[in-house]
Amino acid sequence: MATPVKAATTHNGADFTTAASVTNGPDFKHAETIDVQYHLDFGSTPINNGDKITLDFPENLKGKTPGDTFKVYDEEGTVIGEAVVSDKGVVITMNDALQGKTNAKLTLNLMTKYRYEDTGEKDVVFPLENGKTSTSQINIVANEANLSKKGVLQDDGTIKWTVLVNRRELEMKNLDVKDTIGDHQEMIHGLTVSNGHWENTTTYKREKPAMTEGKDYNVTYNNDGFDLSFNDTVNNLVVVDYYTKVTDPSLIDSGYKFRNHALMTWGGGTSGNKNSEEANGKVSSSNGNSGSGSGDVNETDEPGIDTDEDTDTGTGTTDVDDGTETDGEEAAREEEEAKEEAAKEEAAKEAAKKPSKTKVAAGKTKAAKAPVAKATATENPGITKTTNTKLPQTDDQSSLASVIGGVLALVTLGVGVILHRHN
């Protein structure tokens, strides 16, 4: 007799969340990434084909990259589910790969941003199982940078770079911007330079029509980028858009990080020293979305059975600020990322030395308990901050199965199932 198909179930992640916290900080600018981590334990609740696991962000946080998706894989590279990020949370849709397995566990690392416009110390409250809560404290600070930049990969093999000049809308005389493109890129002549204004702390608008070359500004192109000088004193935000061509198409889907650097100078006149400020831009050729997981094999008498799209309103183009990062912050963050990658590689080597837990479980009798299999998955989105031990909840991170960063990050499924999401 055929076994009836079980209807798909939607699981509220909060009902299975045993721990949750912010893992970086505690200080954040409005546009910066706030990494959050969840631990879920489903116990005897099975995870079947088509089941959805939903998890809402705390009320004052929002997803960094709504609409982003990533697949979740098991240790053998089989897809076991797919996650979708929204403004309010994440939904993971599982397939039949964990059908018949038990003790699903998830560790989720998600990339978020602060939702509101105010500043100061804030409580981030996470709902837990049995009506409990967990609270992390963060501090939202104003962005004091005058210059920033971001990049977005295009479908045609180019990168759109955006430089925000005079972010704080100061009076800037003799304003110049020197932009230097990174490796494996070729400058495409033609800038769009627009006056702009802030609509709120994280959203700005380009005004139409754009400024005119020769009248409002002059530009000189070179092999490594361009020099842009403004003819008049600048008192408002200016948005500079331009494109570079990727010269090695094989890098586009490889996870390679394309880089860019801008230097802004102003003031000084004929005798005084000029002010200067720098900004780094970086865009990955991949979101870094990945995932892995597993579950305990049920034992029988027989062997085991196995965002930031522009919106044109007609009067100008609205865009989202991606924040700023100094050279020191970038160096510290990348050093921390390198340590995490090295730790993951070492853990993978140690795991490879051990026999397959699934095979061991399949050969045991009913009285034996299948060992827990651990796995990790990661979502990776743009610039993140390094872990700051000032945050109390970051002190016990070494006991976690794995860590990730971005609007979505790490997940652990099964007697050990993990999903990661970097951002």
Distance between alpha carbon 340 and the CA centroid of its chain, in Å? 16
Confidence at residue 415, expressed as pLDDT on a 0 to 100 scale: 38
Q: Does the bond joining 46 to the residue before it have cis omega, within 30 degrees of 0?
A: no
Classify each residue of 326-362 as buried b or exposed e, where b means 16 or more C-beta atoms within 10 Å of its C-beta: eeeeeeebeebeeebeeebeeeeeeeeeeeebbeebb
Q: Structure pTM?
A: 0.65
Confidence at residue 309, expressed as pLDDT on a 0 to 100 scale: 40
CA–CA gap between residue 244 and residue 158 (Å, rounded): 6
pLDDT per position in the chain (423 positions), as tens? 555 566 789 999 999 999 999 999 899 999 888 999 989 888 888 888 999 999 999 999 999 888 888 777 766 777 878 989 899 999 999 888 877 777 877 777 888 999 999 999 999 999 999 999 999 999 999 888 999 998 998 989 999 999 999 999 999 999 999 999 999 999 999 999 999 999 988 899 999 999 999 999 999 999 899 999 999 999 999 999 999 999 999 888 887 889 999 999 999 766 678 899 999 988 876 543 333 344 454 433 222 222 334 444 444 666 667 655 555 555 565 666 566 556 555 655 555 454 433 333 333 333 333 333 333 333 333 332 333 334 544 443 333 333 333 333 334 344 344 444 443
Structure-token match 């050729």, residue found: 285
What domains are defined for the chain? 10-141+288-312+344-420 (2.60.40.1280), 147-284 (2.60.40.740)
Confidence at residue 330, expressed as pLDDT on a 0 to 100 scale: 56
